[in-house]
Amino acid sequence: MRAREQGRNLIITIDNPDDPALEVELTVPPVPGALGADLYALWLGLALGLSDDPDVDATNMSKIAVGEANWPTIDNDLRWAEAERVINAAFFWNVQGGGIELVNTLLEGEDGYPKAQVALLKRNGHLTRIEQLTTLLNSAVANETPTPDGTSDTSTPTGSES
């Protein structure tokens, strides 16, 4: 998969080395700034597990990122791995704090998504807060005292004051 900026659009090409005539090219238009901020909010909600309906939010986020005109191609013509890469590229193109640099980071290789994610959080001023929250949550999980039945003990131990 390749991506390039053309004017204000992102052009995504899904290569087919066996038959170049079967390449798929999608033009992803830019979204207005307020919608880019909404994309970021949806993504954070999903990433932090705060979404009330993750499936609906993920689908809405994907449709906004790629554009309604591209959705039938994404939904009907691409394999899941291809669709996922296209959606992620369109997301990093259109999200608040995104752009072609993040798309290129995403497409760099296997660790492209985590690198693009960190860059996005940093651009929006949330990286330090997310790292602190992750450390706090990991610490809380590590410090849980399991009960004999294997569940976490959330009650006050016998003999201690409350």
Instruction: For 38-78, write each residue's pLDDT tens digit.
Output: 999 999 999 888 899 999 999 999 999 999 999 999 999 99
CA gap 57, 43 in Å, rounded: 8
Residues 6+ apart with CB under 8 A from 40: 95, 96, 97, 120, 124
Q: What is the pLDDT of residue 124?
A: 86
Q: What is the pLDDT of residue 70?
A: 95
Q: What is the pLDDT of residue 38?
A: 94
Q: Number of structural domains, the chain? A: 1
Mind listing the pLDDT tens digit for each residue in 90-105? 999 999 999 999 999 9
Q: What is the pLDDT of residue 136?
A: 64
Quick check: is 111 in a domain? yes
At residue 154, the 3 state secondary structure works out as coil
CA gap 85, 139 in Å, rounded: 33
- pTM higher than the cut 0.85: no
Quick check: is 157 in a domain? no
Quick check: is 159 in a domain? no
Q: What is the pLDDT of residue 123?
A: 92
Quick check: is 85 in a domain? yes
Which residues form the domain of 87? 2-129
Closest CA to 101 of 113, 116, 114: 116
